[in-house]
């Protein structure tokens, strides 16, 4: 079980994600990572909606972004400090229609909301901390595949996600092309770019330079909340567009505070607020490990390149992007779509990368259209076998 200490309090005070009765867990046993390291016993936390059909052919996998979790929809409650991050997209009559589909959302390997990560207890009963091995997006997807095996899901009807979740969706079609009939990759990339790695490095250094980080072994003391807060400020700036920030805040001061006299600009107050929200609910060690995993993402690595991987995929690949996204620019989605002669479905938004979380009406329409153009899992498998 993963239990993350509340920020700034003694280590005996913990936030148990499994206090949320909707959060389930399974052990997938020992996991050998790309690096060769082994996690002896790996727990995966997940939530589900709907009913799995008798032949398990109606399953949909939803992949969360960097600081998301398995709680895609729903309210704040015990063990769940945040409301669902994609409201109104799962349920009867919703785009992920639970009258038709069984929807599953796992917390990612390396995370801090129930799945094994650096804050989890190692076999010796102490938090993994600095001993937690490097994980990759491929490792994360391999763990999700092991969970699917335990649940009797041999093929997904649909796999979708945005940002880091989109990375995992694309890795599914690369690692397990026969196990997903359709994939929807939203506001993401088939490979990490130097720009994304550079932004990630600044965030990692903000955390690891915090004296409280202690090389990752801070779980018996005070969390590196200052470093995590700075990392969030950096990241959140890349999540919004420059135009939106300027239109929303400009150079206005925060209330009566005068920046010329040491007060804050309104945009600084906004970033302070975003940082404060994250440090109250997320583990700095997980932030570091997940950011490093994203930096090594490349579905074409060792497989003949991105284009070759995408063209080998026998299922239906759908791509969506936010027109104002400066972290995962539109040209990265075009690279995916061009490889398979698809058109990118564009989300119109002034909000930048976060548009995929904010413009839910447009995402609703994109999911419905993509599902309508995805053949059944059995049809894709038959086509693959004939080919």
Together in a domain, 261 and 158? no
Which residues lie across from 253 on neighbouring strands? 265
What are the tens digits of pLDDT across the range 232-280? 999 999 999 999 999 999 999 999 999 999 999 999 999 999 999 999 9
Domain boundary among 293, 322, 338: 293
Q: Is 255 left (phi over 0), alpha (psi -120 to 50) or beta?
A: left
Question: Do residues 239 and 144 both lie within one domain?
Answer: no
Q: Which of 239, 263, 293 is the last residue of a domain?
A: 293
Structural domain count of the chain: 2
Partnered with residue 265 across adjacent β-strands are 253
Residue 380: its pLDDT value, please?
59
Name the active-site residue from 163, 286, 324, 349: 163
Burial 104-138 (b: 16+ CB within 10 A, else e): bbbbbbbbbbbbbbbbbbbeeeebbbeebbebbbb
Residues 187 and 210 placed together within one structural domain of the fold: no
pTM of the model: 0.94
pLDDT at residue number 184 = 98
Average pLDDT, stretch 183-208?
98
Per-residue pLDDT averaged across 53-69, rounded?
Answer: 98
Q: Among 293, 322, 348, where does a domain finish? A: 293
Which CATH number characterizes residue 171's domain? 3.40.50.1820
Domain, as residue range, for 103: 4-192+297-386
Rounded CA-CA distance 46/65 in Å is 14
Question: Which among 120, 353, 354, 370 is annotated as catalytic?
Answer: 353
**What would the pLDDT profile of 71-93 be if each residue is shown by its tens digit?**
999 999 999 999 999 999 999 99
CA–CA distance, 347 with 241 (Å, rounded to integer): 14
**187 touches 322 (CB < 8 A):** yes
Our answer to whether residue 325 is catalytic in this structure is: yes
d(CA 5, CA 227): 16
pLDDT value at residue 381: 56
Do 188 and 207 belong to one domain?
Answer: no
Reported as a pLDDT band with limits 50, 70 and 90, residue 376 is confident
75 plus 187 within the same structural domain = yes
DSSP string, 316-345: EEEEEEETT-SSS-HHHHHHHHHHTT--PE
CATH at residue 235: 1.10.1740.110
Is 1 a residue whose pLDDT tops 80?
no
Out of 139, 210, 298, 325, pick the active-site residue.
325
Nearest to 136, CA basis, from 290, 268, 260: 290
Whether 310 and 332 map to the same domain: the answer is yes
Residues 151 and 201 in one domain: no
Same domain, 94 and 184: yes
- The predicted-structure confidence for 102-155, as pLDDT tens digits, reads as follows 999 999 999 999 999 999 999 999 999 999 999 999 999 999 999 999 999 999
Element (H, E) at 236: helix 225-239
Distance from C-alpha of 202 to C-alpha of 312, rounded to nearest angstrom: 36
Q: Over the stretch 331-358, which tens digit does the pLDDT of each residue have?
A: 999 999 999 999 999 999 999 999 999 9
Distances (CA, A) of 7 to 156, 182, 236, 253: 37, 40, 20, 29
Same domain flag for 40 and 180: yes
- Could you confirm whether 353 is annotated as catalytic? yes
Do 13 and 122 belong to one domain? yes
């Amino acid at each position: 079980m993963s239990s993350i200490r509340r920020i700034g309090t003694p280590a005996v005070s913990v936030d148990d994600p499994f206090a949320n009765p909707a959060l389930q867990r399974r052990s997938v046993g020992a996991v050998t990572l790309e690096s060769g390291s082994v996690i002896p016993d790996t727990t995966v936390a997940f939530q589900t909606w709907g009913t799995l059909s008798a032949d398990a052919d109606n399953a949909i996998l939803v992949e969360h972004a960097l600081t998301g979790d398995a709680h895609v929809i729903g309210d704040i409650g015990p063990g769940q400090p945040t409301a669902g991050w994609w409201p109104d997209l799962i349920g009867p009559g919703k785009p992920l229609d639970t009258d038709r589909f069984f929807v599953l959302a796992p917390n990612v390997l390396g995370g801090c909301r129930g799945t094994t990560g650096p804050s989890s207890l190692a076999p010796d009963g102490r938090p993994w901390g600095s001993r937690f091995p490097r994980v990759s997006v491929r490792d994360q997807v391999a763990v999700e595949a092991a969970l699917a095996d335990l649940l009797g899901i041999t093929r997904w009807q649909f796999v979708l996600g945005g940002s880091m979740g989109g990375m995992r969706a694309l890795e599914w079609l690369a690692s397990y092309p026969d196990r997903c009939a359709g994939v929807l990759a939203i506001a993401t990339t088939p490979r990490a770019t130097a720009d994304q790695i550079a932004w990630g490095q600044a965030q990692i250094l903000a955390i690891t330079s915090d004296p409280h980080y202690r090389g990752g072994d801070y779980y018996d003391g005070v969390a590196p909340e200052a470093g995590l807060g700075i990392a969030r400020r950096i990241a959140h700036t890349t999540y919004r567009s420059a135009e939106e920030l300027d239109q929303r805040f400009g150079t206005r001061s925060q209330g009566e505070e005068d920046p010329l006299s040491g007060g804050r600009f309104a945009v600084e107050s906004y970033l302070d607020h975003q940082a404060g929200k994250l440090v109250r609910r997320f583990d700095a060690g997980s932030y570091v490990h997940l950011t490093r995993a994203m930096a090594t993402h490349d579905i074409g690595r060792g497989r003949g390149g991105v284009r070759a991987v995408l063209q080998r995929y026998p299922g239906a690949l759908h791509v969506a992007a936010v027109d104002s996204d400066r972290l995962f620019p539109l040209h990265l989605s075009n690279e995916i779509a061009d490889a398979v002669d698809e058109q990118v479905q564009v989300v119109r938004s002034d909000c930048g990368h976060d548009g995929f979380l904010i413009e839910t009406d447009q995402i609703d329409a994109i999911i419905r259209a993509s599902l309508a153009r995805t053949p059944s899992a059995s049809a894709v498998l038959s086509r693959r076998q004939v080919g």
